[in-house]
Amino acid sequence: MLFVCFTAKTSVSTANVQLIYHSVLSELLHDKRRKFTFSETAYFWRWWKEQRPTTRATFRTLVQEGRVEFAGGGWVHNDEATPDYLHIIDQYTWGLRKLNDTLGPCGKPKAAWQIDTYGHTREQVSLLAQMGYDGLFIGRVDHKQREAMIEEDRMEFMWRGSDVLGKMSDIMTHTLFNLYNAPDGFCFDFLCNDEPIIDDPDNKVYNADKRVNDFISQIERQAKYYDHDNIMVTMGGDFTYQSAANWFMNMDKLINHVNTHPANLSDINIFYSTPSCYLKAIYLYGRRDKAMYTEKDDQLPYGSDSMTYWTGYYSSRPSLKYFARRAHVFLQVVKQLTVIARLGDSYELHLLRHAVSLVLHHDAITG
């Protein structure tokens, strides 16, 4: 499974998400086997507004064909610890409405995507389950929790968001193996220094066999921790795919050589996929119907190691958190007044929705 997720990093000050959309769109048109997954609607909307009708039509076609997919689909990838319920619901409503208005029913995300937040809450889980997502993907898990998950074979589990709602708040949850990054040594981006796949046998630096063996080893190591034959391998990272050609060229080679490798025939088959396709595959396997561990707690606080606990953001930048709450209150007032006055949406109301939702980003309201 190959996809990318966007998250802000100050070390990548020249990153340009607009380039990612243009670059990926161009590469998808070269080969119908290729697929790609986007996440936050805020980035998509900024790009979409500037596109010509022909580009929009092409993008819609890719969505209808299942070759472009949105995961999550909220306006942003929201923090889970500091916002309140209504604020989270509003930002999802705004993001999903934009996707529906621009892409139609085929643009509706089937997979919830909370892969970079600094811990997870039952309340978020409950909301996502009630929104109708087929499954939830998470990335950042406390280091001790991850060790226990690996030892106890529960990298995938059923998460119950509410004791009161019971099964209505259950959602199948998948813990990503590599956070959301490519396996070690297989980042084919100009932001990385990993070697490309060179499969010309006449080239002195031919390395296809070695690279294939390394990749198969990575898959086999990961497969031990999931109780079925479908393994999700993420291929991306923060602000990657600004030059998508290098990624797809190398991934095409990787897919071809792994699937035809003499020592691998019939054992491993890799291909481009998406989060919703993965969920469909494991449901066909019967994973949801089998006895699974049920999580009923929060996954907070998040500790990336024994000396690093991500708890300061609960109270840091209090003024920002205060203004985020106040702005959301004003948004509720304005929405109700426009309904009472039968004014409908306005440009100013749209701007307020954008700003109030954007501040919920896990790298914004957290400070």
Peptide bond into 83 cis (omega under 30): no
DSSP 203: S
Closest CA to 28 of 319, 241, 235: 241
Whether 116 is catalytic is: yes
The active-site residue out of 79, 90, 116, 142 is 116
Helix (H, G, I), strand (E, B) or coil at 357: helix
Measure Cα distances from 209 to 99, 201, 231 in Å.
Answer: 42, 10, 22
The helix-helix angle for 53-64 and 85-103 (nearest 10°) equals 110
List of long-range contacts for 96-100, beta carbons under 8 Å, 24+ apart: 96/41, 98/41, 98/44, 98/45, 99/41, 99/44, 99/70, 99/73
How do 308-309 and 303-305 pair as beta strands?
antiparallel
- Outline where 174-307 has alpha helix (H): 208-223, 244-259, 275-284
Q: Which residues are catalytic?
A: 116
